Amino acid sequence: MGDTTPPPPPKGKENGPSSVHCPMLTAMNYTVWAMRMKVVLRVHKVWDTINSGVPDEDKNDMAMALLFQSIPETLIMQIGDQETVKAMWDSIKTRHLGAERVREARLQTLSVEFDNIKMNESNSIDNFAGKLSSIASKSASLGEVIDEARLVKKFLKSLPRSKYNQMVDSLQQVLDLNKTGFEDVVGRLRAYEERIREEKLQGGDQELNENITGRVKFGDGSFVQIKGKGSILFQGKSGDQDFLTEIYYIPELKNNIISIGQATESGCDIWMKHDLLTMYDENGRLLMKVKRSENRLFKIRMKIGAPVCLQSKIEDDAWRWHTRLGHINFELMKSMAKKDLVRGLPHVEHGNQLCESCLVGKQTRCSFPATSSF
């Protein structure tokens, strides 16, 4: 006898009831589980034994077998002695009514959080978008999906207007927010945020490293979070400019705090007598002179400096020579002019100022030591 080939399975058999899988009941998915199980029981033609309580021993056994496949073992031990599948179904429903109320309460809490969330000035686009996505994910896991159109509109509405007003208005006019994806909008705002940050760095407002984090502890035991470290260019009353380096960026503080210890470590000379504090830099220039306040703090209003654009100052002889001599500082230029070390070098009366090229090229540095220790 030759080899025999078994007949092919009946057409459509793989799509029959045996290929329908039962969902597993968990502590938080009762509503969705019940909807799916109704479909499974209808496919197997046994839902009427639960819905109407029709006595049918074969259907009752089939429905009970399906339920046993869709509930955890601990629950089987608790309700497995029920004689009818209807009694078993009702027992599962009763046990999970409390869980359903918990689910609804959590959804209500998430809804309030979603409606009230706003982006702070100190937050980044990625950070805020992550918070919104987290709320949306939690809501979806509880059975309520926040559609992308609602997510996009909430995202744009919650941005600080003082910082993103122009970009938000442009997106609202150009894009159809009902058809635009959430990630698309986040990507556009992220690119805009990066461009603004680069412009600030080039303008010398603040060379900030957001990778440095931590927290500062105060005397009362409270803490504030550090969001970065950088340098600030400030201008004195005489017009001189100087850097405060290694400055922590702490958005929660309403006022800036200068550490005297940190100032002395950077070479500053500090004098305190009676109710007066004076601070000099390592070259002997007066940085600040402050009178003590009633609460025993030394308060001063410091003006943030801005680097000079050479293109706008190129007609000035001093600035032109500053460029020719490789962006040396004006104190050195003043000394060179007095000693007639460079022919044609004009007399310099500028304060100690910095230009954009000095900042970008990182030409500002401490003087080389007179002697080497090794």
Global model pTM greater than 0.75? no
pLDDT in tens, 112-164: 999 999 988 778 888 899 899 989 988 887 778 889 999 999 999 999 887 78
Residue ranges covered by each domain of the chain:
16-102, 117-203, 214-304, 310-360
Beta bridge partners of 355: 308
Q: Give residue 351's pLDDT band: very low, low, confident or very high (50, 70, 90).
A: low
Question: What's the pLDDT tens digit per position in 61-82?
Answer: 898 899 999 988 888 888 888 8
> What pLDDT shows up at residue 352?
57
The pLDDT mean for the chain works out to 76
Neighbours of 184 (CB within 10 A): 14
CA distance 133 to 127: 10
pLDDT number for residue 371: 60
Residue 9 has pLDDT above 70, yes or no: no
State the CB neighbour count (10 A cutoff) for residue 75: 18
Share of the chain above pLDDT 70, in %: 75
Least confidently predicted of 52-61, 299-308, 335-344: 299-308
Other residues' Cβ atoms within 10 Å of the Cβ of residue 327: 15
Confidence of residue 5 (pLDDT cuts 50, 70, 90): very low
Residue 132 has what pLDDT?
92
Q: How far is CA 89 from CA 38, 82, 186, in A?
A: 11, 10, 45
Res. 101 pLDDT band, cuts 50 70 90: confident
Residue 250: per-residue pLDDT: 82
Q: Which pLDDT belongs to residue 204?
A: 43
In this predicted structure, which of 35-39, 70-74, 139-143, 242-246 has the lowest mean pLDDT? 242-246
Mean pLDDT of 203-232: 74
- Is residue 267 within 8 A of residue 276, CB to CB? The reply is no
Dist. CA 180–CA 184, nearest whole Å? 7
Q: Tell me how crowded residue 358 is: count the other CB atoms within 10 A of its CB.
A: 19
Determine what percent of the chain is predicted with pLDDT higher than 90.
6
